[in-house]
Amino acid sequence: MEQAKLNAYCQQHFDQEPIMVRAAGRINLIGEHTDYNNGFVLPAAIDKAIYLAIIKRNDNKIVMHALDVNDSYTGSLDKLERTKQHWPDYLLGVVQQLQQGGHIIGGFECAFCGNVPLGAGLSSSAALECATVFGLNELFSLGLGRKEMALLSQAAENQFVGVRCGIMDQFASMFGKKQQLIKLDCGSLEYEYIPFNFDDVNLVLLDTQVKHSLASSEYNTRRAECEQGVAWVKVHHPHVNSLRDVSMDMLDAYVKGKNATVYNRCRYVVEEIQRLQDACIDLQNDDLTSFGKKVFATHEGLDKLYNVSCPELNWLAEFAAGENGVLGARMMGGGFGGCTINIVKKTAVPALLERAAAGYKQQFNTTLKAYVTSIEDGCRTVNNLVNN
């Protein structure tokens, strides 16, 4: 549907055939808030995506249309500034990074729309950045590889938008593969695909519809707390550069007595990095029950130690834990709102959706949104409506 909408727009407004890109949102099975600590993550690209169409202009203007909010931006390649509208910043940040990297691009016009719910923790912003860089790379034959494009998108968000996010979301959007999780080492950016294709299981996203407006400032605070913990350990172990290099013994010796909050944050991260490794062994053994227990444990840690949950997420995770056929459930992404991810036996999905919606309505007077999602390919060009 999104692609049809974009196509109709292009036919009406563009005088040349555009390059069209699909960039997916992402889920993450386990490994939350570990990416900026050089740990591991286990994300995947999903069936929800941003579609972007892009053409060259003969001048140095940048013209962009956000079809879903019916808004446009016109500016110049010579003067990139943050906007009041906010959404152009994700695209302009990419342009700025390309310019800083010495890549030559000319003026362009683009339009985009999508079905990644905004503020739901499914990385619509990373998808938009990735769609932009992927489109510009094609349009101006820049020759960038996927890794470079993921890093460049992350830098755009860090430096232009001002959120110090890690690499997970952009990497997942770029490298996603159908029915595969990406086990990514965020320290080295080495990765492997791990199949996630269970006939009897669905991945269900329950959307609190609480927009994570607090997230960016709190997110940066969490990063700073982790860095503080590392600094205290480093005094005694100079080789330590991130929480990836830190053990629980080190935390107990050098952080515990100094500050309880910093200790809790670091403890969660150190435990989560190990939990992910153990969870991958569960996957190798096709043991989703054991995997799911670790997913529940991640929620507990994110809530109690990392303090990035909220009442709505907690309610959904606890509710799911008490339901038949739910193997694992937790809040996902940065936190303070957005979705829970639930690993659910297919036969149990209808009852879960019905009972969760009824309970959530009663508890929060809000209509719960739910998405049964699938794992799909990441960034790619699309060129016809019928097959894509």
In order, the DSSP letters of 93-119 are: HHHHHHHHTT-----EEEEEEE-S-TT
Which residue shows structure tokens 């309505």?
Answer: 361
Structure-block tokens of residue 231: 């600094």
User: CB 127 → ligand GAF: shortest distance, Å?
Assistant: 12
Nearer to ligand GAF, 38 or 123 (CB): 123
Q: How far apart are CA 222 and CA 308, in angstroms?
A: 9
Is 333 among the residues that bind ligand GAF (CB under 6 A)?
yes
Structural contact between residues 176 and 27, judged by C-beta atoms closer than 8 angstroms: no
Tell which one of 50, 165, 226, 302 touches ligand GAF (CB under 6 A).
165
* Marked catalytic residue, from 15, 47, 89, 169: 169
Is 338 among the residues that bind ligand GAF (CB under 6 A)?
no
Which residue shows structure tokens 């320290």?
Answer: 187
User: CB 169 → ligand GAF: shortest distance, Å?
Assistant: 5
Instruction: Indicate if 169 belongs to the active site.
Output: yes
Residues in the chain: 388
Nearer to ligand GAF, 168 or 343 (CB): 168
Which residue stretches of 235-383 are H helix?
248-254, 260-284, 288-304, 311-321, 349-364
In order, the DSSP letters of 349-385 are: HHHHHHHHHHHHHHHHS-PPEEEEE-B---SEE---T
Structural contact between residues 373 and 205, judged by C-beta atoms closer than 8 angstroms: yes
User: CB 173 → ligand GAF: shortest distance, Å?
Assistant: 11
Q: How far apart are CA 222 and CA 241, in angstroms?
A: 17
Is 331 among the residues that bind ligand GAF (CB under 6 A)?
no
Return the range that interacts with ligand GAF (CB under 6 A); candidates 2-10, 52-60, 165-173, 376-384. 165-173
Q: Kindly write out the interface string for residues 16-45 of this chain, putting x where it contacts ligand GAF by CB under 6 A and - elsewhere.
A: ----------------xx-xx---------
Tell which one of 18, 88, 117, 166 touches ligand GAF (CB under 6 A).
166
Binding residues for ligand GAF, total number by CB under 6 A: 11
Nearer to ligand GAF, 21 or 172 (CB): 172
User: CB 388 → ligand GAF: shortest distance, Å?
Assistant: 26
Return the range that interacts with ligand GAF (CB under 6 A); candidates 53-61, 140-148, 163-171, 365-373. 163-171
Residue closest to 36 by CA, chosen among 187, 153, 147: 187
Q: Report, as residue numbers or ranges, the catalytic residues.
A: 169
Residue numbers at the binding site for ligand GAF (CB under 6 A):
32-33, 35-36, 123, 165-166, 168-169, 333-334
